Structures are given as structure tokens and as C-alpha cells.
Chain A
Amino acid sequence: MRRLANRPWPADKRDQAAAAERLEWLTIAFLLTIVAVIALTMGSSQAMKTAWIEDLLGLIPPIVFLVASRYASRRPDADHPYGYQRALQLSFLAASMALIVFGGYMLYDASVSLFSRHHPTIGHFTFLSHSVPIWAGWPMIAALVYSMLPPILLGRRKLRIARTLHLKTLYADATMNKDDWMTAAAAILGIIGIGLGLWWADAVAAAFISLNVLRDGVINTLRAMGDLVDGRPRDVERRQPLELERQIAAAVGAMPEVAAVSARLREDGPTFRGELFIVPANGNCSPDMAARVAQTAESIDWRLHEIAVMPVSSLEDAAAGTLP
């Protein structure tokens, strides 16, 4: 993301924002190699096919992040006076719902295989119409081991950045990458199971992987929805409220010109917006005073942004839902 809402990133966050973008490009590049390697070796294994689709789907979050974050960085204009921040959340919602659809379909496919007692046939490995004298299961396992490594390493680094920059979409993408090892492990066990004569191992592994995809889809859909319905600011990882309303009320309430204050905040992409309702001590609120109150409030947290200050006669006139 080039910019954070209407202004550039704070100096200490700029490097991380650039790093996030680089990591997402790297993720796309590595995922493409993984997709190619799995396509060359997958043969007739259901688990491999499911892992392949899951890796293809894994291309969606980074692409969404890169495209939508360019869009989201646009300055507000007449058509979109609040800016384009929501673009990222909306695209992520779409991507998560795609995961639900695909996960559900793959689960159905794996179940059909299981119930129809389909025995996967895996013979010699054929590469470009030439038969190679090893069992095709071995290149499959090698491809899966390779597919484990880049997502885990990239995911770990993206996770750290996502926590620091409060980027929920990057966080979701990073957790999905880190969980990729479970997909590869399940598929490997499935193939070994086939080798040991357990014909159902492959379908069971495929079902497990689909459930994982389905779970990722559901969790991330709920995350994306939570933001789009203007929820109060929460920690990107643990989803606990950040209690910023209380901190703001304490800081602003300490100002001599302010008799009483209440706040309401909402998540707007990676930033928080909101309104402060103040009862001025001497019944007047000059533009200077409003500016100072807003400044005090925004200094509480780097993610607070464009806090509007509303002078009211008493806190009963404040909008519903304010705190404390």
C-alpha cells in the first residue's frame, strides 16, 4: 500500500509497507512454481489435485492485496469523499467467499470418491510421455515437500508485518500460508497410505485439505464482514477491543476546556475513524479548540485518523453508541 488513507505511512512504518508489497510479489512467484511442479507430478491422486487447487486459490489473496491496495491508496474525491480504503476489505470478502465455494466443492468431490470406493491407480512416473523407472508417488511427495517450504517462510515474515501495520488482509493471507504445511503433510500421508494399500487414504487426505480450505474461507469471510459492518477497533490477531475510546476520553477529558467527552470509533481498513462529542467547559468551542481536541485524540494511536469533533450541550445529545 503506497499510502495509508489520505496521508503517507508514518516514517517508521514505511519500510514495512514496502516489504509487505515485495513479499506478496514473492508469494505469487513461488506459488506459480509450486503450481507448476504439482501439475507435472499429480497424476491421478485426489489429494494432489486438491492441494493443487488450494495452491491456485492461494494466489488470490496476494493478487487481491496488490491490486486492491493500489486502489485503496487513491485520494478521496467527489464520488468517494471518504476515500477508497474499503476496497481492500471488499475484495478480501470476495476472495474468502471463493474459498468457501471451492472448499465445499472439493469436499463434495472427495466424499464422492470415498463413498464410491474409488481405488486410485498410481504406476510409474511419466514425464513428457517418457516412462521413468520410479513409482509416481515419489515425485508427488517431493513436489509436496517443496510446496511446504516457501509458504511457511513467507507467511512467517508477512505475519510479523501484518501485526505491526494492523493489516487484517495481510494477516489473513499470512495465516493461510503458514497453515499450508498441513495441506502438504496430509497429501503426503495420503500418498504413502496408497502405497501401503490403503485405497481410501488419498480421498481422506483430500477431504481433510478441503475442510481446511473451507475453514479458511469461513474465518476470513467473518473477519472481512466484521470490518465492513463498522465494528469497533480490535486487535488484528486476538480480536480483543483495543479500548481506544477509553484512552481518548481520558486524554481529552483531562483538557481544561472540555467538561465531558464521549467517543465512537470504527475500523476503516487499516485505520480507525470516528467522532468525539464534547461538552465545552465554557459553552463555546472555537475551531482552534476543536483542532486541538482532535490532535490530542489522534495522538493516542497512529492508526487514528480524521477524528471529527462535535460540540454538544450535554452528552445526552451525543449519538447513540458512544463510549464511555
Chain B
Amino acid sequence: MRNRAVGLLVIGCLLAALLPLAGCGQFPSDPESTFNKAAKRGSLRVGVIDNPPWTTRSGAGEPIGVEPALVRAFAASHGLKVEWHWLSESECVEALKRFQLDVGIGGFTRKSPWKKEVGLTFAYATSRTVVAAAPTVPFPATLKGAVVAVPQEQVALAGLIEARGATPALSSDPAAKKSGLVAIDAADLELLGLRDTGFELRSVKRALAVPPGENGFLMRLERFLRQRADPNAVPTPSSELGGPS
């Protein structure tokens, strides 16, 4: 008797698992109907966090950068317009949690402290920050005691550099020019004509944020990201900053 009950339940579970494939609507679906509501509205509500080089304002105040470009292309592929909302990261997360926004962009990472509050796509790109050397500067054997220049807006890198035993120098400091070593995104090496010394300061996996639990919408966005970008490639943020695309 009990064996039969077990057998029936197993079969029942398998059938239940196959039912969604029979086409009973979108599977997985959105508990809060994010995609359907966006389609009805005709536009995607996107929260934008000012975070160069990933997202920044153009001269006209429009969002430009890698992530706005991705979002525009995604919206276009579904025939949707885009409503941009400039917000801080906390406000963006709060709005996503309350299902007031459909996508959040501007430097979210897979290890974001918000990862339990909102949904995150898989890593659409990995950005590496490395120590680069000017063309004529020899590669140091070790970072200990070296002076590494840090671009003015990347203050957080100073801590990483100190942790490796080197001395950070902000670009306003004259010592920065003398050292010949600078901490930059690996994607910019070619553009700036610098060489990778092999010392990596950090590696960050980039993602976009979506409202929590909206799995159907998340699958669509991720599918778009898969087609659009190889997740293991590194994009060139600076090249996207030329203007709105």
C-alpha cells in the first residue's frame, strides 16, 4: 500500500513538472507580472545609478555607458520604450523591491550586498583592475614599496593597493607621474597604450538588477544578455562613452 502511494506521488510530481512545458503560460512566470505590465505600458522603467564608466550622463543628461546601451537594446528587441529614473543605489534597490522599477543598472555586481534583496542576472561581463606600466617602464618584480597611480575618481582602489604593500598616489600627486605604474581597468590597456604587469588588484563580475522573484522577466533579460555578450569577455567601457547609442 505504502509503496503504491510512493509510486503515485513520484509520478504525480513528474507530471506536475511536465505540465508547465505543455504550454500553460510562461514558465517560469512573474509573480508580480513585471513583463506583462511593461508590455501593456509600452515602456520599461529603469533605475539608473550614476557610476562611471558603467553609467554616466551625457551632455544632454541622457544615460550613456555599457549598461544603458544594453538596456536600450533589450527594450528595443521587445518593442518597448525606456523610462529612465536617476537614483542612488539604495533608492534603486528599494524601488526594485517594491516592484516600482523593472531594471536597475549602474554597477551592480554578483557579490553586491543587495543580492538577497533584489534579483541579479548572471555575470554579463567580468571587469579586472590591473596594475599597468607605461611603455618604457620595466615590470616590477613585486608590488611591495612600489608607487601606483590611481585615477582621481577611483579612490577605493587606494585601499587595495595598500593591501598589496604598494603606495597609492592620486593623479594630482606629482609622484604619480614619476612612478610609471597605474591601476586601470584591463579593458583600457590597449586604448591607453599601457602594458599589463600581471598584478591583478580585483576582478568583479558585473550584473543587472531586477525585482526579486520576477523569474520570467529575468530569464528574458538573461537570454538577451547571452546573445548580446559573451559573459567571459571584457567590454570596453571607454569606447561606449562616446555618445548615446
Residues in chain A within 8 A of chain B (CB atoms): 118-124, 126, 129-131, 133, 135, 137, 141, 145, 148, 152, 181, 185, 188-189, 192, 194-199
Contacts and interface: CB of A to CB of B under 8 A. Distances in A.
B42 interface: no
B219 A188 contact: no
A131 B120 CA distance: 13
Contacts of B27: 135, 195-196
Contacts of A124: 122, 219, 222-223, 226
A259 B77 CA distance: 99
Contacts of B218: 121, 123
B31 A199 contact: yes
9 closest residue pairs by CB, A with B:
A119-B213, A121-B119, A195-B28, A197-B29, A123-B218, A119-B212, A131-B122, A199-B31, A197-B31
Nearest to B220: A123
17 contacts: A118-B212, A119-B211, A121-B210, A123-B121, A123-B122, A123-B215, A123-B222, A124-B219, A130-B232, A181-B10, A189-B13, A189-B16, A194-B215, A195-B27, A195-B215, A197-B29, A199-B213
Contacts of B212: 118-121
Query: For B122, B222, B223, which residue has the most chain A Cβ atoms within 10 angstroms?
Result: B122
A228 B51 CA distance: 66
B17 interface: yes
A188 B10 CA distance: 10
A124 B119 CA distance: 12
Given A126-B122, A181-B10, A195 B222 contact: no
Contacts of A181: 6, 9-10
A196 B88 CA distance: 33
Contacts of B120: 121
Nearest to B9: A185
Contact of A195 (B20, B119, B122, B231): B20
Contacts of B29: 195-197
B123 interface: yes
Query: For A120, A122, A131, A197, which residue has the most chain B Cβ atoms within 10 angstroms?
Result: A197
B213 A121 contact: yes
A181 B5 CA distance: 11
Contacts of A148: 10
Nearest to B20: A195
A180 to B, nearest CB: 11
Contact of A137 (B13, B28, B31): B28
Given A121-B118, A123-B218, A181-B10, 4 more contacts: A119-B211, A123-B119, A129-B123, A131-B226
B196 interface: no
Interface of B: 6, 9-10, 13-14, 16-17, 20, 27-32, 118-123, 210-215, 218-219, 222-223, 226, 231-232
Given A121-B213, A123-B215, A199-B31, A192 B17 contact: yes
A197 B119 contact: no
A135 B9 contact: no
Nearest to B28: A195
Nearest to A44: B116
Contacts of A129: 123, 232
A145 B16 CA distance: 13
Nearest to B5: A181
Contacts of A195: 20, 27-29, 215
A283 B14 CA distance: 74
B215 A131 contact: no
Query: For B10, B210, B226, which residue has the most chain A Cβ atoms within 10 angstroms?
Result: B10
A195 B118 CA distance: 17
Contact of A192 (B6, B20, B32, B118): B20
B36 to A, nearest CB: 11
A257 B17 CA distance: 72
B98 to A, nearest CB: 11
Contacts of A145: 14
A206 to B, nearest CB: 15
Nearest to A197: B29
A131 B13 contact: no
B6 A194 contact: no
B47 to A, nearest CB: 17
B144 to A, nearest CB: 31
A129 B206 CA distance: 12
A185 B213 contact: no
Nearest to A141: B17
Query: For B121, B210, B212, which residue has the most chain A Cβ atoms within 10 angstroms?
Result: B212
Nearest to A148: B10
A67 to B, nearest CB: 31
A192 B226 contact: no
Nearest to B27: A195
Contacts of B223: 124, 133
Contacts of B232: 129-130
Nearest to A199: B31
A181 to B, nearest CB: 6
